[in-house]
Amino acid sequence: MTEVTKVETTLKDWETDQEVRWCPGCGDYAILKAVQRTLPQIGADPANTVFVSGIGCSSRFPYYMETYGFHTIHGRAPAFATGVKLANPDLDVWLVTGDGDGLSIGGNHLMHVLRRNVNMQIMLFNNEIYGLTKGQYSPTSREGTKSPSTPIGSVDHPARPCAFALGSGARFVARGFDVSKKLPEVLIAAHEHKGAAFIEIFQNCIVYNKDVFDDFAAPKGAEDQQLWVEHGEPLLYAGGTRGLSLDRENCCLKIVEVVDGDWEAAGVAVHDVKNRALAHMLVELRFGEFPMALGVLYNDPHPTLEEGVAAERAAATKGKDASLAKLLGKGQTWTVEAEGGPHL
Amino acid sequence: MATKAAENPASISTESAPDAVVVRFAGDSGDGMQLTGGQFTLSTALAGNDLATFPDFPAEIRAPQGTLFGVSAFQINFGSREISTAGDEPDVLVAMNPAALKVNLDALKPGGLIIADTGEFTKRNLDKAKYDTNPLEDGSLARWDVLAFDISALTIEAVKPFGLGNKDALRSKNMWTLGLALWMFDRDRQPIVDWLKAKFKTKPEIADANIAALNAGHAYGETAELSGPLKKVHIDPVPAEPGLYRTITGAEAVSLGLVAGAQLAGLPMFFGGYPITPASSILHYLVRLKEFGITTFQAEDEIAAICAAIGASYAGQLGVTSSSGPGIALKGEAMGLAIMTELPLVIVNSQRGGPSTGLPTKTEQSDLYQAVYGRNGDAPLPVIAASSPGDVFECAIEACRIAVEYMTPVMLLTDGYIANAAEPWKVPDPDTFKPFTVKFLQQKNATDAEGNPRLLPYKRDAKGARPWIKPGTPGLMHRIGGIEKQVDTGNIDYSPDNHQAMTDARRDKIEGIARDIPLQGVTLGEEGGKLAVVGWGSTFGPIRRAVDNCRNRGLDVSHIHFRHIWPLPANSGELLRKYDKILVPEMNTGQFKTVLRDQLLVDARPYTKTSGQPFKIAELEAAIELALAE
């Protein structure tokens, strides 16, 4: 894999001539802008960047990025992206999926791209609903969600994307939300991570599942329910008046009040991005009762699939030549002479 | 078939008789019959005979010992003339236990020879095979010659010096039997000895025990005071075109053909697969060829296997995926995407008995509808069918060529019979292959109204193919996907006229391939007459032999065998209309017959079989005679 040189671009360089066709007010617009703002910051090269998506509202994303783009089929984007990366590991691949695409029809592929640790950024737009098919409940919809396919409320239990990612062996798990100013920071961290970087982005579907994330993502007054984690920093929120402490007895996190900023006295835990157990606790925090843990929850790099494949190839091909003639005539052969009769 | 077949010959037979022998090795699935058969095949090929084989084994890996459903068999037909099938009826049946005898007895030629291991004809094994009395003793085998002796005891005796326990010693029984067979047919033991030494390099005592068993079996034939049925038979080498030969199975040939195809295209190959019988062997073969620029990827499922291959094609490699019917069904949606995004891809289907899980280890040709019609929307793709293990090599190269020249997925059909069967193969010289080197688009391919360079990702060439653009190429960023594309620009476009134009363009591109493939010839016989027997795929051997036999009896019948199923060669209709009748033997319920009727408006009649077994020559001869008599 060659070192990629940084390219100078502006936000405009990443916009296509195609009309953006999401519903007015959709959270996807904010995410698109955040990504278009992020790419110049990281010095990305449009010609070397590939956006791969599945099916759904979020998966229209590649059409609006002036890069290489592949809008594939429902749920399978991770498999296409894996093929792209194995064929050309130098490409900078961003995968765009949603809660239905990534966790329902494509759950299997998402699991495997994470465990294989293919080097790419995976953005899962979670709006807890099927938007493009007009509002059916999704695998992340909360119990009791009323939708055209669940008119008296859904009864099945929702999947938690970040818990799924950790359980699948992801080495980078982060969270953000559509209108958050901090989203580019999270995306930059994901891009810096070598391996499969999983980012759950809460996204407001204003038509079919409006404002379901208002508890922590409302434009005003919800900041107190956001816990932006940072490596080496205490798990504080609500302006530092509350924090999360390790409940050693029950092996989970508990909320503690912090008096006069003395978080140490309150026993607030310090975030460690390499602590997998802590990451598991952060992504399992019950919604509503606890703040929403946001930012880079887990980041512990590990060799990637491409590196493994390249190393194996180097070892297996050492000293071997690729002679087709030799390959075709391999094994036990015999020669028929012109006069007839075989000769061993 | 190793012999040189003249173009459009009148006959393939030679005079000399007896010129061919059919031997069937049958035993328990743990007895190593496939190995025995494989090594006997090698020695037969080395002796210069033409041959065809038919491995017939259960789906269970280790079925309970001694049971009827656990019987594994390997049939080989070899001769001093052209051999086109594994043979209808064995002349010799080697039965390693009562179940093997029972399952295979019906096929044995009247007067044929049974070689049986009496050591396995115990009360217990007879019960398992549902024999009330011992058939070796009750006179029920009177129609055949029987040679029964205690192979188990003789093997144990032979390997005694190597200190193996009885259980391990009995594992060499297959080598003892092979030794006897090598004696019977006057074969050289040395290649087998070499192979055993290489195979058990790290366990020389096992190699020595097996070699001792092999030699003992051979010596038994040579020295035992045998009267009656055990005779030494010598089959002369077949006259063959000069050159270097090897034996090849269909799975090997398809792998080699893909390697050659990728080289001729000048591309690295990406192979996405998922384990499935009988297609897995292609993955196993290619994984060892990394030095040829091949990346193999065992995906999480069939869908991911094809999707990753398409992803690799998108990134500029030759994407290949392979499976069998049930897996191909799962890949259908992704094939549609490859058709829509017009990316090259080779899909190999090693067909097996269906529907559903069906008969995983048995052969059938019942995925032809699936190949030609089995996708949503108007989604045409070229379909090529191989007729024999050796033929798959050329077909695989042709599939690669069409895929990259037309920017399309191509389906290559083989089947369980072709995948597993072996035949002598004249090793081709790669210098004689015609390259079809791919050129990726490097700069914008059009100009806009103001005369500025512009990229049109769906601008078509004379063949109707769009350019192949590798991500990473500066200045050519563009988006593709499964939503209907606008003519030329490839942008999303749902408008009525555009969908009509793009549907037509996709159809015309595939139909146009008919102008770029050879005209359909007559495989055996005349161009016109009373009856054409039309085949495709692995029915080639039995049809060829049956038609030849009928022609030798003076019947007006010819054999036409199709490689290109979709599109059909341009002259297909004209050719078939030169015959009064058209008979289409297929191992399905008449699928190619339907395609011929639909595409050519000819009165093609079906002759079908779905038993999981290849056609017998005699069945086809009877069908030909009936068709001519009607």
* Residue A127, SS3 per DSSP: coil
How distant, in Å, are the alpha carbons of B70, B89, B359 from that of B102? 12, 15, 21
pLDDT at residue B226 in the model: 59
Residue B532 has pLDDT above 80, yes or no: yes
Cross-chain Cβ contact A83/B272 below 8 Å: yes
- Judge if ipTM > 0.85: yes
* Residue A175, SS3 per DSSP: strand
Q: Which of A87, A334, A341 faces B245 most closely, judged by CB atoms?
A: A334
> Is there a contact between B445 and B451 (Cβ–Cβ < 8 Å)?
no
Nearest-neighbour CA in chain A from B156: distance (Å)? 30
Q: Encoding tokens for residue B244?
A: 């270097």
When pLDDT is averaged across residues A38-43 and rounded to a whole number, the result is: 98
Taking only the tens place, the pLDDT of each residue in B303-331 is 999 999 999 999 999 999 999 999 999 99
> What share of chain B in percent tops pLDDT 90?
84
Q: Is residue A15 part of a domain?
A: yes
User: Which of B123, B147, B137 has its CA nearest to residue B221?
Assistant: B147
Residue A343 has pLDDT above 80, yes or no: no
pLDDT grade for B14, boundaries at 50, 70 and 90: very low
Cross-chain Cβ contact A336/B297 below 8 Å: no
**3-state DSSP: chain A helix, strand, coil percent, rounded to 5?**
30, 25, 45
**Chain centroid to CA A125:** 9
When pLDDT is averaged across residues A163-187 and rounded to a whole number, the result is: 98
One-letter amino acid of B122: T
Q: Which of A76, A332, A337 faces B246 most closely, judged by CB atoms?
A: A332
* Chain B residue with the nearest C-alpha to that of A333: B246
pLDDT at residue B223 in the model: 80
Distance CA B378, CA B394 (A): 29
Cross-chain Cβ contact B303/A79 below 8 Å: yes
Residue B514 has pLDDT above 90, yes or no: yes
User: Which of B481, B447, B556 has its CA nearest to residue A61?
Assistant: B481
Instruction: Supply the range of the domain harboring residue A173.
Output: 11-212+303-307
* Residue B424, SS3 per DSSP: strand
> Is there a contact between B537 and B365 (Cβ–Cβ < 8 Å)?
yes
Residue B227 has pLDDT above 80, yes or no: no
Q: Is residue A205 part of a domain?
A: yes
Cross-chain Cβ contact B292/A18 below 8 Å: no
* Chain A residue with the nearest C-alpha to that of B259: A324
Cross-chain Cβ contact A87/B268 below 8 Å: yes
Taking only the tens place, the pLDDT of each residue in B556-585 is 999 999 999 999 999 999 999 999 999 999
Chain A residue numbers with beta carbons less than 8 Å from the beta carbon of B303 are 76, 79, 109
Chain A residue numbers with beta carbons less than 8 Å from the beta carbon of B42 are 332
Chain A residue numbers with beta carbons less than 8 Å from the beta carbon of B245 are 333-336, 342
Q: Which of B291, B311, B336 faces A80 most closely, judged by CB atoms?
A: B311
Taking only the tens place, the pLDDT of each residue in A124-164 is 999 999 999 999 999 999 999 999 999 999 999 999 999 99
Q: Encoding tokens for residue B280?
A: 């897995």
* Chain B residue with the nearest C-alpha to that of A86: B312
pLDDT grade for A117, boundaries at 50, 70 and 90: very high
**Which of A94, A328, A330 should be substituted to probe chain B, the one whose Cβ sees the most B Cβ atoms within 10 Å?**
A328
Cross-chain Cβ contact B334/A46 below 8 Å: no
Q: Is residue A332 part of a domain?
A: no
Chain A residue numbers with beta carbons less than 8 Å from the beta carbon of B259 are 324, 327
User: Which of A145, A162, A191, A60 has its CA nearest to residue A103?
Assistant: A162
> Is there a contact between A109 and A78 (Cβ–Cβ < 8 Å)?
yes
pLDDT at residue B63 in the model: 80
Nearest-neighbour CA in chain B from A56: distance (Å)? 12
Q: How many CB pairs under 8 A join A and B?
A: 210
Q: Is residue A219 part of a domain?
A: no
pLDDT grade for B165, boundaries at 50, 70 and 90: confident
Q: Which of B307, B428, B472 faces A47 most closely, judged by CB atoms?
A: B472
pLDDT at residue A333 in the model: 85
Number of Cβ atoms within 10 Å of the Cβ of B171: 18
Residue B166 has pLDDT above 80, yes or no: yes
Cross-chain Cβ contact A76/B479 below 8 Å: no
Nearest-neighbour CA in chain A from B411: distance (Å)? 20
**Which of A327, A330, A343 should be substituted to probe chain B, the one whose Cβ sees the most B Cβ atoms within 10 Å?**
A327
Cross-chain Cβ contact B479/A69 below 8 Å: yes
Nearest-neighbour CA in chain B from A35: distance (Å)? 17
No. of helices (H) and no. of strands (E), chain B: 20, 22
Residue bearing tokens 């699939």: A305
Taking each helix axis from N to C end, the angle separating B33-46 and B173-184, rounded to the nearest 10 degrees, works out to 30
pLDDT grade for B16, boundaries at 50, 70 and 90: very low
pLDDT at residue B57 in the model: 83
Cross-chain Cβ contact B307/A334 below 8 Å: no
How distant, in Å, are the alpha carbons of A33, A220, A227, A293, B413 from that of A223? 22, 7, 8, 12, 61
Cross-chain Cβ contact A332/B477 below 8 Å: no
Residue B377 has pLDDT above 80, yes or no: yes
> Is there a contact between B619 and B613 (Cβ–Cβ < 8 Å)?
no
User: In the predicted model, what is the mean pLDDT of chain A?
Assistant: 95
Residue B497 has pLDDT above 90, yes or no: yes
Q: What are phi and psi of A258, to 5 degrees?
A: -110, 120
Distance CA B55, CA B37 (A): 8
Residue B15 has pLDDT above 80, yes or no: no
Q: Which of A55, A330, A342 faces B237 most closely, judged by CB atoms?
A: A342
pLDDT at residue B569 in the model: 98
Nearest-neighbour CA in chain A from B37: distance (Å)? 16
Residue B17 has pLDDT above 50, yes or no: no
Cross-chain Cβ contact A80/B307 below 8 Å: yes
pLDDT grade for B5, boundaries at 50, 70 and 90: very low
Cross-chain Cβ contact A68/B263 below 8 Å: no
Number of Cβ atoms within 10 Å of the Cβ of A64: 24
What total of structural domains would you count in chain A? 1
Cross-chain Cβ contact B239/A340 below 8 Å: yes
Preceding amide of B585 cis, omega within 30: no
Cross-chain Cβ contact B245/A82 below 8 Å: no
pLDDT at residue B4 in the model: 45
> Is there a contact between A213 and A177 (Cβ–Cβ < 8 Å)?
yes
Query: Higher confidence at residue A287 or residue A290?
Result: A290
Distance CA A251, CA B312 (A): 45
Q: Which of B289, B299, B334 faces A73 most closely, judged by CB atoms?
A: B334
When pLDDT is averaged across residues A84-97 and rounded to a whole number, the result is: 98
Q: Is residue A51 part of a domain?
A: yes
pLDDT grade for A91, boundaries at 50, 70 and 90: very high
Cross-chain Cβ contact A82/B244 below 8 Å: no
Chain B residue numbers with beta carbons less than 8 Å from the beta carbon of A112 are 299-300, 304
Q: Is residue A55 part of a domain?
A: yes
Residue bearing tokens 């008296």: A152
pLDDT at residue B449 in the model: 94
pLDDT at residue B236 in the model: 87
pLDDT grade for B59, boundaries at 50, 70 and 90: confident
Q: Walk across the sheet containing A49-53 and list its strands.
A: A226-229, A292-299, A172-177, A196-202, A120-126, A92-98, A49-53, A68-71, B479-481
One-letter amino acid of A99: D
> Is there a contact between B2 and B426 (Cβ–Cβ < 8 Å)?
yes
* DSSP characters over A91-102: SEEEEEEEHHII
Nearest-neighbour CA in chain A from B125: distance (Å)? 38
Q: Which of A18, A71, A109 faces B482 most closely, judged by CB atoms?
A: A71
pLDDT grade for B151, boundaries at 50, 70 and 90: very high
Chain B residue numbers with beta carbons less than 8 Å from the beta carbon of A82 are 297, 304, 308, 311
Chain A residue numbers with beta carbons less than 8 Å from the beta carbon of B317 are 87
Q: Is residue A245 part of a domain?
A: no
Taking only the tens place, the pLDDT of each residue in A298-312 is 999 999 999 999 999
* DSSP characters over B508-519: HHHHGGGGGSPP
When pLDDT is averaged across residues A222-248 and rounded to a whole number, the result is: 97
Preceding amide of B278 cis, omega within 30: yes
Q: Is residue A282 part of a domain?
A: no
Q: In what helix (H) or strand (E) does residue B426 lie, and over which residues does it extend? A: strand B422-426
* Residue A266, SS3 per DSSP: helix
Residue bearing tokens 């039995």: B542
Cross-chain Cβ contact A69/B481 below 8 Å: yes
Nearest-neighbour CA in chain A from B348: distance (Å)? 18
User: In the predicted model, what is the mean pLDDT of chain B?
Assistant: 93
Q: In CATH, what number is assigned to the domain containing residue A93?
A: 3.40.50.970
Residue B1 has pLDDT above 80, yes or no: no
* Chain B residue with the nearest C-alpha to that of A106: B304
* Chain A residue with the nearest C-alpha to that of B469: A68
pLDDT at residue B8 in the model: 52
